[in-house]
Structure 1
Amino acid sequence: MREIAGIAGFQALAGQHVAISEWITITQQRIDTFADATSDHQWIHVDAERCARESPYGGTVAHGFLTLSLLPAMLQNALDMAGIGMAINYGLNKVRFPAPVPVGSRLRARLDIVSVDALAEGAQVSWAVTMEREGDVKPVCVAEFLMRCYP
């Protein structure tokens, strides 16, 4: 786990690779729970029998937005943000899902700080995030993530 000491710690790391998260396993239960929460029950996510017959992946795959929604958990298990009283998700500038996430995959995130911009009472940190699937060279998600941090 990478320790970052307050706003100054983020500023010192601007332009650098910062951390790699722990692995998170994508189970069918996680996919089904996400499908229920979002009402997205497209067959490529929830119908294993049909996927075995018709899908090029041979089984179910996670929703792209499920993959993206794991980013806060990945940040939390990769970083200890000492001196930050509150960090909020401010948004995303660009997100792509270059490769599928078959059920049973293990994912982790590579986290780089692109920039740190001062705010009146804190800072906005721009992260370059690359989520990778264990055993695959192509990323499953790449995103520019904006986080606002306040002491």
Structure 2
Amino acid sequence: MAKVIINNHAEFEEFIGKEIGVSDYLKINQDQINQFAEATLDPQWIHIDPERAAKESPFKSTIAHGYLTVSIAPYLWKQIAEFRNVKMMINYGIEKLRFNQPVLVDSEVRLVAKLESLANLRGVSKAQLHVTLEIKGNPKPAFTGLLVFLYHFE
């Protein structure tokens, strides 16, 4: 799917209530999981110990941290939409986030984004995106929620 180009608030408004697009798949590997564990001081064995996870985990492998999967959402969102004429973009918030399914090591995930709402706040576009992180080959998504971004168009 081709990346959507958005140049201003009026163009962004055209997507209210519509799916904007779907990212490419991204593979989550053990090295990424380990680095995230180190960066966030969260070294639980379910994430970083493949041998123990194979024996003791109900998933029989390590799993990605839920917040690791959320942290890649902006990267995947940039594959879906390109914003031009923007002075600044701010990650403003996350609402109604629900983790539905763990992401096993070496799984591939992709983001599906729909523009839930868009408000013009004195020249700043406040976008609420309903996002779903799909796991390749799994009918249940890793998470769903609303990502809120502020776009300062020129």
Task: Indicate which of 65, 72, 75 corresponds to 2:74.
Answer: 72
TM-score (norm 1): 0.97
1:5 pairs with 2:20:
no
TM-score (norm 2): 0.95
Per-residue CA deviation, residues 60-97 of structure 1 (Å, 9 max, x unaligned), is: 00000000000110111211112222211000111111
1:92 pairs with 2:97:
no
Alignment of 1:2-151 (within 5 A): 2-151=4-153
How far apart are the structure 2 equivalents of 1:143 and 1:82? Answer: 25
Stretch moving more, 80-89 or 18-27: 80-89
Q: Percent identity?
A: 35
Unaligned runs of 5+ in 1: none
How far apart are the structure 1 equivalents of 2:46 and 2:11? Answer: 42
CA RMSD of superposed structures (Å) = 0.8
Per-residue deviation, 1:138: 0.4
Unaligned runs of 5+ in 2: none
Per-residue deviation, 1:17: 0.5
- Count of matched residue pairs: 151
Contact 1:93 1:144 in 2 (8 A): yes
Contact 1:7 1:84 in 2 (8 A): no
Per-residue CA deviation, residues 113-146 of structure 1 (Å, 9 max, x unaligned), is: 0000111121100000000001111000111110
